[in-house]
Amino acid sequence: MLSSSQDLLYIILALSILWFTIFLCWLLYQAARVLRNANDIIETLRDKLELITDAVHLIKDKVDHLSSGMGMMNKMVGGFAEKFLVDKLLGKRIKKKEVEREKSTSKKKKSKK
């Protein structure tokens, strides 16, 4: 079987190449698993980002809808407030003028006596 040391060298080289091949296959398998896990993580991340994007769009739409309603509400409340304040201010001015008229008429009456 082993007639020379060269035969022993060939057997050791063949075993070394076999183990190296097995190691390379195992390494390729591990690399494929890592890539598959990375792909799964990226896919999950993509799904989560899509959910977040949908939620943000939903919130944006609701805020836009609410702000348009608030614009109408603001106009209505502003109109009521303006009307109330104008009436109140005009009422104070009218009362002031009436009080001034009464004072002036009472002074005129006193001066005539």
pLDDT along the chain (113 residues), means of 10: 85 97 98 98 97 93 80 76 72 70 68 60
What is the reported pLDDT for 75? 78
Cα gap 4→87, rounded to integer Å: 122
What is the reported pLDDT for 48? 96
Hey, where are the domains in the chain? 1-81
Q: Select from 81, 101, 83, 103 the least CA-distant residue to 93.
A: 101
What is the reported pLDDT for 101? 75
- What's the pTM? 0.49
**H or E element: which one contains 11?**
helix 5-112
Is residue 8 a contact partner of residue 2, using CB atoms and an 8 Å limit? yes
What is the reported pLDDT for 109? 63
Q: Select from 14, 20, 18 the least CA-distant residue to 6.
A: 14
